[in-house]
A and B are shown apart, each in its own frame.
Chain A
Amino acid sequence: MRCVWTDLCVTVNGESLLLDKSGAAYWPKTRTLIFADLHFEKGSSYARGRQFLPPYDTRATLLRMAEVVTRRAPARVIALGDSFHDPHAAERLGAEERALLESMAAGAHFIWITGNHDPHPPAWLGGAVMPEWREGGLIFRHEPRADAERGEVAGHLHPAASVAKYGRGVRRRCFVADAIRLLLPSFGAYTGGLDVGDPAIASLFGSRFHAFMLGQDRVYAIPRQVGRRKSSEDIQPMITAIATAARP
């Protein structure tokens, strides 16, 4: 396995995943690229309520996706659910957006995991539609489960974290991981974030875990501690991973 420093590498249930600065994860062993919560046409979904958000979010999301796909050249792409913001979102896609999506689908096999926003992704997209996908030590699903087995890779919660220094705070989308599971940040251009300290996220992890915040050129590993209990057991595999990554 080869890691470059711009990619942090985490090991979840024995499988190594690269955390891409874009917010996607890459699984080199199977050449699989993973995106969560694309929320296509979220902007235009607000028009029904007569709120006219600039309708460029899908294009922005797809262009960012295309950039990672070109860079990683995956054999397979997994979208972890909530790829479409609402049941009619696919009908509203513009011609340019459709073409972008189709050209990506032509080069890689797509697996569309279903989400609460898109229980039935459109059939014309091709690829496979399924509620879960298991392979090797990993299981891919939309919504993380409290009682999940080791190796869960999920989205749904849109994690974000903040840190402060020099009297200023920085808030970014982030991956969250411990040795058991990996949560991906939402990838859609109009998707907001939920703080990792929120019980919905924190309760999934032990007292210590890591937020991997998205920076301009790389991902930053930030330790998080919930409560005062100190335990080094949860964190141990993560440190190894960072040390490996840090070595040139």
Chain B
Amino acid sequence: MLPPRFQDWFAAKGWSPRPHQLALVETAQRGNSVLLVAPTGGGKTLAGFLPSLIDLAERPKRSRASRLHTLYISPLKALAVDVARNLETPVAEMELAITVETRTGDTPVARRQRQRHAPPDFLLTTPEQLALLIAHPRAPQMFEHLKTVVLDELHALYNSKRGDLLALGLARLSQLAPGHRRVGLSATVADPKPLQRFLLPQSGGKEVLAELVVAKGGAKPQIAISASDSYVPWAGHLARHAMLDVMTAIGEARTALIFVNTRSQAERTFQELWKLNEANWPIALHHGSLAPEQRRKVEAAMTKGALRAVVCTSTLDLGIDWGAVDKVICIGAPKGAARLVQRIGRANHRLDEPSAALLVPANRFEVLECNAARDAVLAGELDGERLKQGSLDVLCQHIWGMAVAAPFHADALYAEISSAMPFADLSRADFDAALNFVATGGYALKSYDRYARLRQVPDGPQKSMWRLAHPRLGQAYRLNVGVIVEDPMVDIRLQSRGKPTGVGGRRLGQLEEYFVEQLSAGDTFVFAGDVLRFEGLRENAAYVTRTHDPEAQVPSYNGGKFPLSTFLAQRVREMVSAPERWHVLPEPVQEWLKIQEWRSVIPKPGQLLVEHFPRANRHYLVCYPFEGRLAHQTLGMLLTRRLERARMKPLGFIANEYALAVWAARDMSGLDMGRLFDADMLGDDLDAWLADSNLYKRTFRNCAIIAGLIERRMPGKEKSGRQVTFSSDLIYDVLRAHEPDHILLRATYADAGSGLLDIARLSDMLARVRSRIVTRKLDRVSPLAVPALLEISREMVARGEVEEDILRENEDALIADAMRVD
């Protein structure tokens, strides 16, 4: 099937083409689009490009006009650059006359302009760059000869807002280059169908599917779980007790990647490892808050093989291959089977050798989760994903971009957009609302119509077209393109001690503004591997000094907090419910579960256990839904509202990944639990709570920025960026009161359902446990409840009007101060 030149090349390398690589060549010969599902190390990228390489190798020499043949899109620009470099080898060794170029935000302007007029054969880029390319008046010329689109790491894109943006871009490419083929490359997924649909234009409610090729799996990974039969912590996420095991594992490996779930965890783990690092092994730190230069330095050192280990967050989940990595260590909860597979796949990129991984649970529940995750991975079962609908804010951005490209007919654009899989169910009314939002805001106001962004101009007797009102709006679109919205950030600058705050200082990186705003001068926290003392905030920078205070107060800062996946939660619940499977667990964990069985009860599969007990003059209600912290927090808010109405005087609650504990002044055990957990709580109570939720307001801000209602912060305009945060809250309050059905409020609600607040998941859970609630009234705390209660002191979440409590308590301090006689 391969042309001789390619056969020789494979032979010269000592390789034989893999079956899935040949399968992709075959589908290309039939002119079909295809999804390739293959594990890491399966020669996936080469498989994606092989048909294009063959096609161009057979191209007659004289047709040397510069035409874009294959467009490759990756979620990471570093990956696009790496793939371009890897393609150089076959192109050079087979002496193919093929040009390969990348296009990212870092590509010089001159080259970007040239790429429009004289594109390379292969262009490697990102979804954001595709949006920019198609929103250009010359897009039809650039793409008219396009033959193939290769979408890499499609599993990481298709079900997200970036996937929406990409899908809309593909819908436009279908118009510009009808008949081009698409190749999707994906890691193993639970259900490939949505990805197969994503690749092709959908029409008329029928599923249109690309072909599917599934590569044979590689060797099964070797997954060990660090466990001690003498000590397993009750709570916490640091696994400090296991750091010696981690050092030993590093010692056995050539290079290890150490994954943790949050940035603060990364900082703490890094510190703990260096305390034990007597051999002075080069161990580095990598997470999203560090300065880009510092991250690039670590990545370069990895590429050279100069490091023994890197402590990292999800920033390194995806990315370029580092051949030297031969062990992956995951500290804390795996959160999901697919995530674990992805992380394990970062070790050893050869298909036939097993990847080696060590899971390090930090507490008892995490021991269960690690075991459940390992079983799932070895059984080849993965988390399914809830499919999101195309986001309305992304739709608004795209409509604006399409007007920048050329005037359009509303009917034609609607048809084009609803061929994109995420927007297949988009109603015409929603499309029109988005169009009007882009054109004039959609408020039917004369003063707004006068400055419309899009105007309708006549086009023939019956028709009209939408046209951009001013070329400057094209520039504004280009500055706003993309769906990744950063939280407002503050620079962290390190000063020498004794200097006045706000003078000089080396930039260490950035932290979320809301974290920095809660610090007072003198507070200490860990960042960039050091214990730092906060000195003050000046302009847009937080000034810090180094301190050797061993008792660093480390408040958590966000970054990479994923909820426990529904699938894995299910498996953890099954493990808890099956005493015959406990024997694989470490002794302290078995004992913990056995005492729970004796003192309270082990819930059967499908049941929700609710326990009541008194403790220190409070009455506790603890339940164990295992649905992740976010869903539990929402549940906690809603339950306390109900308990308030039932006059139980709820005082507070705490949620972790597995359980929710509520405490009140009165005994809640007499309440009807079926009523208390009834799904009707998701109505008015939820709405009332959402109105004031900061997470919800942040979600609105993201939608408002993506849709172009408020401007994105530009480099060098940081100060205005801080103001944007505040004013998006103001807009939210006004909009909610005066136009609750506004398109952006609907977009926000849709995001909250699946994203930050996990409402959809909570609603599934309430439906699942209906009439399956098991209640136990106990005389004291149960073993299962201990981990949740231990977190109360760590992370106090007060009930209801927490903001008012904060104001009140700050004031109380004042009154004590004011009344003091000294």
Which chain A residues have a beta carbon within 8 Å of chain B's beta carbons?
43-44, 47-57, 59-60, 92, 162-172, 189-193, 213, 215-217, 220-223, 239, 242-243, 246
> Nearest Cβ in chain A — how far from B167, in angstroms?
26
A50 and B453 contacting across the interface, CB-CB below 8 Å: yes
**Highest count of chain B CB atoms <10 Å: which of A52, A55, A242, A243:** A52
Q: Residue on A with the closest CB to B692?
A: A216
B443 and A172 contacting across the interface, CB-CB below 8 Å: no
> Nearest Cβ in chain A — how far from B733, in angstroms?
7
Q: Residue on A with the closest CB to B742?
A: A54
A190 and B810 contacting across the interface, CB-CB below 8 Å: no
> Nearest Cβ in chain A — how far from B219, in angstroms?
45
A48 and B806 contacting across the interface, CB-CB below 8 Å: no
Within 8 A of A (CB), among B433-461: 437, 440-443, 445, 447-448, 450-453
A217 CA to B810 CA in the complex, in Å? 16
Q: Residue on B with the closest CB to A216?
A: B804
A52 and B440 contacting across the interface, CB-CB below 8 Å: yes
B731 and A165 contacting across the interface, CB-CB below 8 Å: no
A53 and B807 contacting across the interface, CB-CB below 8 Å: no
Contacts A47-B450, A55-B445, A162-B518 known; list 19 others, CB within 8 Å: A44-B447, A47-B451, A49-B451, A54-B441, A54-B443, A55-B443, A56-B739, A60-B733, A60-B738, A92-B447, A165-B805, A169-B517, A189-B734, A190-B727, A220-B811, A222-B810, A222-B814, A243-B818, A243-B819
The residues of B that contact A216 with a CB separation of less than 8 Å are 801, 804
The residues of A that contact B453 with a CB separation of less than 8 Å are 50, 52
Q: Residue on A with the closest CB to B442?
A: A52
Q: Does B616 contact A (CB under 8 A)?
A: no
Q: Residue on B with the closest CB to A54?
A: B735
B802 and A54 contacting across the interface, CB-CB below 8 Å: no
The residues of B that contact A43 with a CB separation of less than 8 Å are 734
Q: Does B15 contact A (CB under 8 A)?
A: no
Q: Residue on A with the closest CB to B811?
A: A220
The residues of B that contact A217 with a CB separation of less than 8 Å are 804
- 17 interchain pairs (CB within 8 A)? A51-B709, A51-B710, A54-B735, A54-B742, A55-B441, A55-B448, A57-B730, A57-B734, A92-B447, A167-B518, A169-B518, A171-B517, A192-B723, A215-B807, A220-B808, A223-B817, A239-B818
The residues of A that contact B447 with a CB separation of less than 8 Å are 44, 47, 92
The residues of A that contact B440 with a CB separation of less than 8 Å are 52
Q: A52-B441, A54-B742 are in contact. Are A60 and B807 (CB under 8 A)?
A: no
B804 and A166 contacting across the interface, CB-CB below 8 Å: no
Per DSSP, chain B at the interface is helix
| Tally of contacts, chain A with chain B, CB under 8 A | 134
The residues of B that contact A162 with a CB separation of less than 8 Å are 517-518
The residues of A that contact B476 with a CB separation of less than 8 Å are 50
A220 CA to B556 CA in the complex, in Å? 28
Within 8 A of A (CB), among B557-587: none
A220 and B710 contacting across the interface, CB-CB below 8 Å: no
The residues of A that contact B517 with a CB separation of less than 8 Å are 162, 164, 169, 171
Q: Does B473 contact A (CB under 8 A)?
A: yes
A140 CA to B445 CA in the complex, in Å? 36
B473 and A221 contacting across the interface, CB-CB below 8 Å: no
Q: Choose one: B452, B731, B796; the contact of A53 (CB below 8 Å).
A: B731
Within 8 A of A (CB), among B772-822: 795-798, 801-811, 814-815, 817-819
Q: Choose one: A47, A168, A243; the contact of B806 (CB below 8 Å).
A: A168
A220 CA to B807 CA in the complex, in Å? 7
B443 and A52 contacting across the interface, CB-CB below 8 Å: yes
The residues of B that contact A215 with a CB separation of less than 8 Å are 804, 807
A168 and B441 contacting across the interface, CB-CB below 8 Å: no
A170 CA to B517 CA in the complex, in Å? 9
The residues of B that contact A239 with a CB separation of less than 8 Å are 818
**Highest count of chain B CB atoms <10 Å: which of A50, A60, A223:** A50
The residues of B that contact A47 with a CB separation of less than 8 Å are 441, 445, 447-448, 450-451
The residues of B that contact A60 with a CB separation of less than 8 Å are 733-734, 737-738
Q: Choose one: A50, A165, A192; the contact of B451 (CB below 8 Å).
A: A50
B735 and A246 contacting across the interface, CB-CB below 8 Å: no
B810 and A165 contacting across the interface, CB-CB below 8 Å: yes
Q: Choose one: A48, A49, A169, A190; the contact of B730 (CB below 8 Å).
A: A190
A171 CA to B737 CA in the complex, in Å? 21
B815 and A163 contacting across the interface, CB-CB below 8 Å: no
Q: Does B514 contact A (CB under 8 A)?
A: yes
